[in-house]
Amino acid sequence: MIAARDATENAGQRLWLWFWWLLYALVTLYVAGRMGAFALSAAVPTPAGLVQLPNTFASVDHPFHIARAEALWRTLSSGQLLRWIGQHQGGYPVEFYPLGEAWLEVAVRALSLNTLSAPGAHTLAVIALFLAPGIAFCLLAGADGWSPAVGVMALVLHVSLPGSWYDGGYTELVQWGLVTNVAAAVASLLMLPRVIRFLVTGKGWPGAATVAFAAAAFYSNPRSSIGLAALGAGAWLALALRRQIPIRRGDAGVAPTDRGWVGAITLRAAQVAGLAALLAAPELMALARFGDLYRFVRYSGYDEIAAYITAAAGAVTVPVAILGLAGLAFGLAVRGRIATTAAAMALVLYMLLTVVVAFFPAAARLAPQLEPTRLMPLQRFLTIYLAAVAIWLALTWIVSRVKAAQPWAAPLAATALAAMFLLIQTRPLDVAPDPATPAAPPVSLYAVATSAQPQQADLEAAVRAADAGAPPGTALLVVGSALSWHQQLWAPLWTERPLFYDNWLWYWHPDHDGTPGYAFAAGHHYPDPERTLDPDYLARHGIGAVVVTAAVREAAAVSPLLRPLHGGIYDAYAVIDPVATVTFDGQNPLNVAFHDQRVWARAESAATSIVIRANWHPRWRVIAGENGADVSRRSDGYFQATLSAEATQVVAVYALQPVDWAARLLALIGFTGLIWFGIGWNQREPAERWRSNTSGSKQAPERSKV
């Protein structure tokens, strides 16, 4: 009789589990479909007829990130690692804008066996990043024995609340395309359930996952180190201060009564932190060496505490913020729900760190490139999870007060609530929100600009025409946008020449010699883009062809310096008598090969002074024949090589230095440790050492059956 009843209960639990997984899958399919996962290309009308174009997100920053992933793909295809991106406004070292998220796009493209284009891989990577917090929410809920309803409700809240520019929701990730910031926050969140599991059990795979997610977060955006510290400390505190720690799959629990318990979890925390630091050594050591070269224009911040509180509430809406505070209070007060407690403690620590960075000048000076507003995504994720916990607690409490309530009443109510909220909060809008509007849109999953447009087809045709018409060894200039913001930044997909723009999104040093109206501190754009067609600007930057649209078209059409190549929405022109990207005593060479990490040039007449129009960095090394050269930084940010003897041929190499090799060796040691953890060789003592072996120890909380 008892056995039959237990079998029935187990069957019911399995049925509910399948139900929640089905619901989770339906939510993800709905969101992925609305975001274009099943429409990666579209037919576009052009003067030549219908053309099939990739159809991905094209608003604000997306083109920049797609171009970076394409550069990484090309470099890997040639058997090298990308360390210097030379196409973007004179070039920059990758450690100043790490490639963590770009590696995700390359991985997606590789898994497709290169059947996906760079834009298609970007679409799927962005959708994966948008949905990935749901995995972390479900893992956190499962670690505490909550119903899967908690994870599903948290996912629904996340995808349904768009947030504003810097909040980590749909607006930041999809409308603004700030993918690196969101990717770092998502990787950090995914680390939390794994680090809890590892600290409790010491088992290898959770430890390996913890290290991998931490390193991925740091390589996506180094500012994630603040969140990683808060999450790790929150998990450690939650475990150190609790008497009873439940483990998944029916384990009786861990009773940390042994005096060595705190020491054990501290050692485990130190292990994963050390391995993550080793994996991140190339980035850490490069920033430590060259961080003083990096200048960042701070566009946003909090003027006062009230502004921060308002932003925190606006990131999730006021009602959800209140629910999050309720879940926070529960997490700090309850015993036995260790993941909820860890999330609550991590949230408190993270908010305190944000306040310190935002309002204490001494802390702000330690991280001059950090905008406190960019820390909001991880705070939002934790708040949403705790709000989902509060909603579930409220539903189960209400159902428990109803006489003769069935066990399925609370899950059914949670399902109805989640479905209603999702459908209401993701309804289509008649007019797409303007990216320039700082207020959060009323709904999520709204339409954004996409790339399958006639303007995109014409830009590609114009860039290809300019690439074919420009003399070898010269750069291209692309001015103006006909599709959303920063359409210029798509150009690297269709040419491998160095590229310059009138609005280039991001930069790292103040010496760029731009148009007369350009000022580094005012932002990375030219307020007078028509002045890029002046002969001195074209010569300074080695421009061989220009692509223009909007108002600059009129100036280009009458310029005696230009020869037309293409006409349309964008016009392309070749520069008559251009200056090359490399010059020997002021004269153009016979041949130039200008690649990301290597520049080669050969001249007809020997010279002792060679100007290379790539941004100076201490790693650049110039060789002329068998002789070296003194490399110096010019006032315009480029570099010049002074030779000890005349030469007709030079090679500039963005070289690996001994410290770079040392950093790679440390990363290799870290990767070896990651494999060591994954295999489980670190488990010299089993986790059962910490299990309760004394009578009277408090049992783990009963797990929910639904």
Handedness of CA 530, 535, 536, 540 (dihedral sign): positive
At a CB cut-off of 8 Å and minimum separation 6, what does 635 contact?
511, 513
Are the C-beta atoms of residues 163 and 316 closer than 8 Å to each other? Answer: yes
Question: Which residues does residue 631 pair with via DSSP β-bridges, in sequence order?
Answer: 641
Question: Which residues does residue 627 pair with via DSSP β-bridges, in sequence order?
Answer: 624
Buried b (16+ CB within 10 A) or exposed e, 239-254: beebebbbbeeeeebb
Which of the 8 DSSP states describes residue 454?
A: H
Question: Which residues does residue 612 pair with via DSSP β-bridges, in sequence order?
Answer: 582, 639
Are the C-beta atoms of residues 364 and 403 closer than 8 Å to each other? Answer: no
Strand, helix or coil for residue 160: helix
Q: What is the pLDDT, as a whole number, of residue 199?
A: 92
Amino acid, single-letter form, for residue 579: V
Q: What is the pLDDT, as a whole number, of residue 645?
A: 85
- The alpha carbon of residue 554 and the mean position of all alpha carbons in its chain are separated, in whole angstroms, by 38
Distance, CA of 207 to CA of 268 (rounded, Å)? 8
At a CB cut-off of 8 Å and minimum separation 6, what does 608 contact?
585, 642, 643, 644, 645, 646, 647
Using alpha carbons only, give the angle 177, 180, 181 rounded to the nearest 5 degrees. Answer: 90
Tokens 């692509």 belong to 547
Distance, CA of 509 to CA of 331 (rounded, Å)? 45
Nearest residue to 645 (alpha-carbon basis) of 612, 604, 609, 608: 608
**Most distant CA atoms of the chain, gap in Å:** 100
Distance, CA of 687 to CA of 603 (rounded, Å)? 69
Question: Which residues does residue 694 pair with via DSSP β-bridges, in sequence order?
Answer: none
Strand, helix or coil for residue 432: coil
Radius of gyration of the chain measured on its C-alpha atoms: 28
Are the C-beta atoms of residues 314 and 537 closer than 8 Å to each other? Answer: no
Distance, CA of 185 to CA of 191 (rounded, Å)? 10
Nearest residue to 432 (alpha-carbon basis) of 419, 413, 447: 447
- The alpha carbon of residue 134 and the mean position of all alpha carbons in its chain are separated, in whole angstroms, by 17
Distance, CA of 511 to CA of 504 (rounded, Å)? 15
Amino acid, single-letter form, for residue 190: L
Amino acid, single-letter form, for residue 336: G
Are the C-beta atoms of residues 243 and 258 closer than 8 Å to each other? Answer: no
* Alpha helices by DSSP H, 360-375: 361-366
User: pLDDT per residue over 48-89, tens digit each?
Assistant: 889 999 999 999 999 999 999 999 999 999 999 999 999 999
Nearest residue to 395 (alpha-carbon basis) of 385, 405, 404: 405
Which of the 8 DSSP states describes residue 173?
A: I
Are the C-beta atoms of residues 650 and 601 closer than 8 Å to each other? Answer: yes
Strands (E) located in 378-486: 475-479
At a CB cut-off of 8 Å and minimum separation 6, what does 232 contact?
195, 269, 272, 273
* Alpha helices by DSSP H, 374-408: 376-400
Average pLDDT of the residues of the chain: 89
Give me the count of residues in the chain: 706
Distance, CA of 213 to CA of 273 (rounded, Å)? 11
Q: What is the pLDDT, as a whole number, of residue 80?
A: 92
Are the C-beta atoms of residues 385 and 137 closer than 8 Å to each other? Answer: yes
Are the C-beta atoms of residues 609 and 642 closer than 8 Å to each other? Answer: yes
Q: What is the pLDDT, as a whole number, of residue 403?
A: 67
Alpha carbon separation from 666 to 80, 188, 281, 284, 683 (Å, rounded): 19, 22, 6, 11, 23
Torsion on CA atoms 494, 495, 498, 501, rounded to nearest 10: -30
Nearest residue to 492 (alpha-carbon basis) of 60, 72, 48: 72
Give the pairing of strands 499-501 and 475-479.
parallel
Tokens of residue 490, six digits: 């798509």
* pTM score, whole prediction: 0.91
Residue 38 has phi, psi (to 5 degrees) of: -110, 15
Nearest residue to 40 (alpha-carbon basis) of 132, 126, 110: 126
Question: Which residues does residue 88 pair with via DSSP β-bridges, in sequence order?
Answer: 499
Question: Which residues does residue 92 pair with via DSSP β-bridges, in sequence order?
Answer: 85
Buried b (16+ CB within 10 A) or exposed e, 435-461: beeeebbebbbbebbbbbbbbbbbbbb
Terminal Cα-to-Cα distance of the chain (whole angstroms): 23
Q: Which residues of the chain have pLDDT under 50?
A: 1, 5-6, 8-9, 246-255, 257, 684-706
